[in-house]
């Protein structure tokens, strides 16, 4: 199950990364409900490259079943999803984000972090 979650993360993060690199203004507007500025478009593109790199790492880790690369990548993608979910929901809760998808994307990040963490704990418990 954990390998499947990491493979899903690889696809999702690569798609999200490419979307931010190619269409940062549209993604920012959709997610945050704000008109992006030149600076936020560049930050969006840099974040997109980082997400694509994280997705690529997940793709490699999905093939490394049980190895150290998978364990560390799972930790990284879990931390990313937990942090991103919390930040998006806090931003939305505070009224700063009014995008049409911010609540759903924030909740999905938290749910994915919980699923990854649950699988990591199960795997660790079973040795």
- Residue 1 has a pLDDT of 65
- Residue 69 has a pLDDT of 78
Mean pLDDT of the chain: 89
Assess whether pLDDT exceeds 80 at residue 29.
yes
Using pLDDT thresholds of 50, 70 and 90, give the confidence band for residue 127.
Answer: low
- Residue 121 has a pLDDT of 82
pTM score, whole prediction: 0.86
Give the SS3 label for residue 127: coil
């Amino acid at each position: 199950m954990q390998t499947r979650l990491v493979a899903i993360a690889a696809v999702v993060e690569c798609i999200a990364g490419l979307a931010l690199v190619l269409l940062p203004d549209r993604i920012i507007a959709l997610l945050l409900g704000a008109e992006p500025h030149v600076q936020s478009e560049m930050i969006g593109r840099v974040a997109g490259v980082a997400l694509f790199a994280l997705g690529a790492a997940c793709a490699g880790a999905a093939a490394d079943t049980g190895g150290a690369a998978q364990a560390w990548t799972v930790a990284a993608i879990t931390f990313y999803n937990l942090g991103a979910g919390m930040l998006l929901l806090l931003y939305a809760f505070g009224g700063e984000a009014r995008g049409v998808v911010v609540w759903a994307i924030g909740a999905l990040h938290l749910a994915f972090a919980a699923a990854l963490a649950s699988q990591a704990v199960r795997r660790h418990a079973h040795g």
